[in-house]
Structure 1
Amino acid sequence: MGNPESQEGLKPDVHYIKFGVSSKTLEKLNDNVGAVWLYKSADDLKVNLYSDLDWGGTKQEVTSSCTSLPSKNYSSIELAWQNPGVYLCKDSEGKECSVYTSSQTKLADGFNDNVRSIRFKNSPATQYGAVLHEDQNYEGICWAVDQFTNISPVTMTGGVSSITVFLRPEASQGKGVTLYDDIEYQGESVGPYPSDQPALGDFNDKARSIKIDGNYMALLFRDDNYGNECEVLKNSDPNLLIGNTVVCKGLFCIGSGVNSVMVIPVKK
């Protein structure tokens, strides 16, 4: 058959489809699969073909590129990536997934507002966590998660459209997060906080700058108990009035400000 990627040795009349994620259907190749070419080793990618649509019927494991199969009658394919990362899936079973190892302002094609579960594949040296955002460009409601979770409209009412990926450290270091009621770290302050704060009490809506000491990431929320819009900050910010939609939204800074804070240890 040859290599479809390079077209070397590929017959002119051969039809092929390249899959990067699992698919409930093989489209024009349904019941007409002649061969499979793997672009990754079996250590990185596990591939299963199914005789029926929607991963039903008989399963055929594919462990290497092959020029022949026991049958041509396959109608769906499962790609189970093995490399470490954050896996956003369209289903709760984890079959239709896209893997992320870095933050993305928008999700892969077909995944925007269609994520139903999140999974993590870690190694001893690499432990992933993620912040899921309702809107693209890390905007809107957000949700921090570091373990397998099913996602429903209750937890993310507008769906998931972008993702912040972070690495968890072996231990936290530094004092944490301090909020100031004036820019340039001036005025009254609260903190430092080395852990989450579900409410800021008398300091609600007052934060105008933030100092992060140590290997922490701060999630600033507009409402108490980590509700409403949020902003992710990995570094200190001397002026939250600029470019921060939680503190200042729109031309006239319409917004209620910071009312709760998540403090997450991250590897920097």
Structure 2
Amino acid sequence: MLIGIIPDVHQTTHFIKMVENNINRLDKLVFLGDYVDNWLEKIWWHDPEHNPVNTINKVVSYKQNYPDKIDLLLGNHCLSYLSKNPKSKLVSGHQHEHDKEIAQAFLNNIEHFKIAVEYDGWVISHAGFSNTWVNNQKEKGFNPDKETIIDWCNKMLLKKNFHYFDWTGKLSPSGDEVTQTPTWIRPFSLMKDSYFSNQLVGHSETKLAPIFVTNKKTNLILVDSPDHTCYFELNTKKQPKFETVEKVLKTIRNEK
């Protein structure tokens, strides 16, 4: 299966060419979320091309045109508008003055969004699933004998139980804790406590994206970039070459 991956959008327009140049030859195309919030949002609210509500409507229009091919996932910058938890709204670039308009745009289209998908053994989400977080959901009604955690999450999203995906941090302001949700957890904690053996995520920007890292138990692909221009294709029939955590960290330090 050939899967196109569009990481965090953040009100940029690079995704338009990514879709239009590749959609016809792909089996699936997955957006990893964070369609809104950019550090120029005060300028872009009045710019139709970058307006957050228009961006949401644009990606939804692609989903409507290719319902069986495109998946739209939600990230922490999306759920911060749907959450009632003040801590969830502390994400950088959150547009407090337009909170209601952006929230309504997501609510109007909530049936088009998901938390995660799985194809050929690869779990794709905004930030990833930890063992700790999944086990904690058993107290909230998740029954692994009846459904997968992915199906449960997507069902909770449709039921508008957004609080399940709220910020759960206690020690790390960036979300680098194993208790964090599939829209918040950072790669170091995810690698320590991954629920799935093969995961692909956005959320954590790196100039070296895509990065392929393994600890023998988990293969992780990181695809988010600071300029939001990273487009990645995952061929599930060809295993990428993964590096150890130590080697990846060394490469990152040398790049800096």
Asked if these proteins are the same fold (TM beyond 0.5), I'd say no
TM (norm. structure 2) is 0.25
Rg: which structure is higher?
1
Q: Which has the higher helix share?
A: 2
More strand per residue: 1
Q: Pick 1 or 2: higher relative contact order, CA cutoff 8 A, min separation 6.
A: 2
- TM-score, normalising length: structure 1: 0.25
